[in-house]
Amino acid sequence: MTQPDLGIELERLPAPLPIWYGRVGQDVWLEIARAVANAGGRLVAVWGVVRDEGASATACAAYALPHGLVWLELQRDSARGVPDLAGIFPCAARMQRAMTDLSGIPVEGAHDSRPWLDHGLWSQGARPLLRDGPGLDPGLSDTAGMLPADYGFVRVEGDGVHEIAVGPVHAGIIEPGHFRFSVVGEKVLRLEERLGYTHKGIERRFAELAPMEAFRLAGRVSGDSTVAYAWAYCMALESACGTAPPVRAAWIRALMLERERVANHLGDLGALGNDAGLAFGLAQFSRLREDWQRLSGAVFGHRLMMDVVVPGGVAIDVSSDMQERLCRQCDDIERELRALRAIYDEHAGLQDRFLGTGRIPPPLAAQLGLAGLAGRASGQAADLRCDHAWLPYESLAVRMVTHSVGDVAARVAVRFDEVLESLRLIRALCAGLPEGATCGALQLPCNGVIGVGWVEGWRGEVLVTLELSADGHILRCHCHDPSWQNWPALEHAIIGNIVPDFPLINKSFNLSYAGHDL
């Protein structure tokens, strides 16, 4: 494939998708970002890197272009900060704030420099990813009785304006997040989110694990996307080792990825019906999802298919009898799905809540970098299974589902259509599953190498970048969830809507707290 023309030297990495790596100076960091934007590219991730004790941290950025993914590392002057990318890609703002919290890298000219992951309870000067700096275990004597630092929420003032604070602890079992609404009556003028409460130190933990075992941690970054993260990690490790899994293993991985997509869409469709007052929808889709996950447990040994994608392939094969059961279930689910969709489409009360609610029009979606299924519901035609189809998707002709309206109804429609397409893909994967081994041996290289995994999960693209030392240890493993792009967009989606519609709008995105707060 033709190399992206960014005016710099790039190295093609040995990955199943087109991925390049390059190093650039601070003088062209912003220039390249503008070139990517002008070429219709997207910012995928920004993160910090520290490799050696005492070494200054530097920044990395990953961009998605029509040619593939470009991973750039900044050759940073330690006396200067990193140029701010948020003026070109607004979604960079929170990623850069997290980078500063974790690695101590300042951002020059940043409009928003408030801490993101550091809530004021870390030890003084703690930068968790700096190996020679203070960590996050200062001892109980330093934190006992402490309260989180005040956060400078943006205030909206005017006649009749008041604030509603929701969270971070919620009445349900969802993870913690704070939502500050500025409203007049019930109309929302502004929403500001405060996340980071579930920060777990995963990136530092990766460096304490053996490369052949770290796939287990990757699969636990976000439990609803365990297959996507495990596959992305294993792809990165296999890329670093210069090997590929057996063909049969790649097909089984895709089979599990599509089952993961269906399971999450079924759950969301039920929850969306319930949030709009149709408890019948929740009952029916919960039943379908339970049946779906029970069969996943029977075939793959785990309802979420955890720890099945392993370095070099998969840990469990799929027998011909199980393939038949999987196909029969697809037929049953499709029949019921079509009947339920007719009910949803014809239910006046449901459509009244869905249509026009939480709308993000395509131009705004493009500006914000809206990703994944939410992006496709707002006219952003990006799906790795189509754009850069790898084995086995290259032979399956995946049909990308898009919508142009960008409201709750569009996000519901995308889910319905994506389930139907995934059911077709699962049948095709079972029918065409090639013979052969399900796992191959990996040999760790004896020199420092990098690898990248890039997978289209159900929520959007999952990125894993991996760096191995010459002695076979993990120097750094960065995982990126598409929720980084979409949480800020949710703040825009609620503007002009009423407060009671927020749960519905929020569920129509269904973003990850855990995947966002590593």
353's tokens: 């809540």
- For 392, half-sphere exposure in the C-beta direction (CA atoms, 13 angstrom radius) is 23
Q: How would residue 500 be classed by pLDDT, with cut points 50, 70 and 90?
A: very high
CATH for 11-133 is 3.30.460.80
Q: Are 231 and 459 in contact (CB under 8 A)?
A: no
Among 109, 28, 119, 33, which residue's Cα sits nearest to residue 75?
28
| pLDDT tens digits, 380-411 | 999 999 999 999 999 999 999 999 999 999 99
The pLDDT mean for the chain works out to 93
What amino acid occupies position 94? R
Percent of all residues in the chain with a pLDDT value above 70, rounded to a whole number: 95
311 in Cβ contact with 404 (< 8 Å): no
- What is the tens place of the pLDDT at every residue in 459-478? 999 999 999 999 999 999 99
d(CA 20, CA 71): 6
Task: Please calculate the CA angle 462-177-403 and round it to the nearest 5 degrees.
Answer: 50
d(CA 107, CA 2): 33
Full-model pTM: 0.96
The pLDDT, as a whole number, for residue 1 is 59
Strands (E), 204-357: 309-310, 313-314
Q: In whole angstroms, how large is the CA radius of gyration of the chain?
A: 23
The ranges assigned to domains in the chain are: 11-133, 162-197+481-518, 201-243+442-480, 247-298+320-434
Domain at 247-298+320-434: CATH architecture: Orthogonal Bundle (1.10)
Q: What is the pLDDT of residue 5?
A: 80
Which among 451, 392, 438 is positioned nearest to 245, based on CA atoms?
A: 438
Lowest mean pLDDT among 46-55, 86-95, 201-210, 298-307: 46-55
Report the C-alpha gap between 101 and 103 in whole angstroms.
6
pLDDT at 142 over 60: no
Place of tokens 């993870």: 175
Residues 109 and 415: their CA atoms lie apart, in Å, by: 40
In sequence order, what are the beta bridge partners of 47? 60
Find all residues with CB under 8 Å of 39, minimum gap 6, and list them: 4, 65, 66
How far apart are alpha carbons 269 and 257 in whole angstroms? 18
| Dist CA 506 CA 487 (whole Å) | 9
Grade residue 55 by pLDDT with cuts at 50, 70 and 90.
Answer: low
Q: Which of 123-132, 330-339, 467-476 has the lowest mean pLDDT?
A: 123-132
Say if residue 491's pLDDT is above 70: yes
Count of residues making up the chain: 518
Three-state secondary-structure class, residue 233:
helix
Grouping H, G, I as helix, E, B as strand and the rest as coil, residue 418 is helix
